[in-house]
Structure 1
């Protein structure tokens, strides 16, 4: 189980598969760079960014799903830890950001959509909603996608949201973290902060 959570009463959590660019996104959001492992699954504990004087932090949870060189039981353990962390802290989590790779997310979801199999990304999306956390899906690496609207509509479809995606701009945020293009994510997060009367936190997403 994850330990040493800072005693902050409000947080925004970031979840996603390994290698979707979460670390790059965190660096873009916080201006802090930190060790990212060269190989997937290196982040095994949450990274908490509690540098602000406010009673608030950003939490980057470890990547879940397939990781080369990591045994399945270890992967399952990480996923269980993530779920337990979110359940335990749900009341403090203002927004959950699910980061996906815009280039491969549809293929990955479709590959894992069997009769008794729910793809991790879809499962995480619904899990966050079930525990009462507003979700923003940060669709990263969109600079590598040619047919942006079609790809985002397909993603909405897989998540059970009716396309077109543009009616879900508080939920679907196309970004390219590497290029510093994260405005759509910032705007979506601010929509949810505003609904929870936390405009005081806007400066972290500007």
Structure 2
């Protein structure tokens, strides 16, 4: 699954042409993708930075082209991005699984949240994945070399606790049951806004 067809779809749309006419100083800063390996319900989004407003224009490309103007979470200007990537979306799972195997991680990847952006002049995939073991895998992948720059695993409950709108006092005391964890995963699936904010945090 290559990114370029989504770029071509965006650039051919009237919504994009109107956007570029209005925001002539805007520039591409990120690709944001949610790949659900179970339901196959994926999200493909391309982001542009608006220097004049310090905001991000997020184009979602599944079905019709839709545009949202989002506030940024900092004043740092993101680096411009060339979306001609060396790593295709389809290859990300294999790269992560090889890295997990080398680190003796046996869980299966259920969902991938992938952000491609430029960091200090280098094109990097910033990955957040939901694992079968009810954990979150975080990893950075160098787009040019396909090397894993870092990889770590954390509890899904720790991740959910940090989401906006979560009240830690409402968390069940003691060891959670599988049903509790399933509910947390369901909430995680529905909180796209929180995922977007996670992406913005990673851009800092």
Q: TM over 0.5: same fold?
A: no
Q: Which has the larger radius of gyration?
A: 2
Task: Identify the structure with bigger relative contact order (alpha carbons < 8 Å, sequence gap 6+).
Answer: 1
- The structure that is helix-richer by fraction is 1
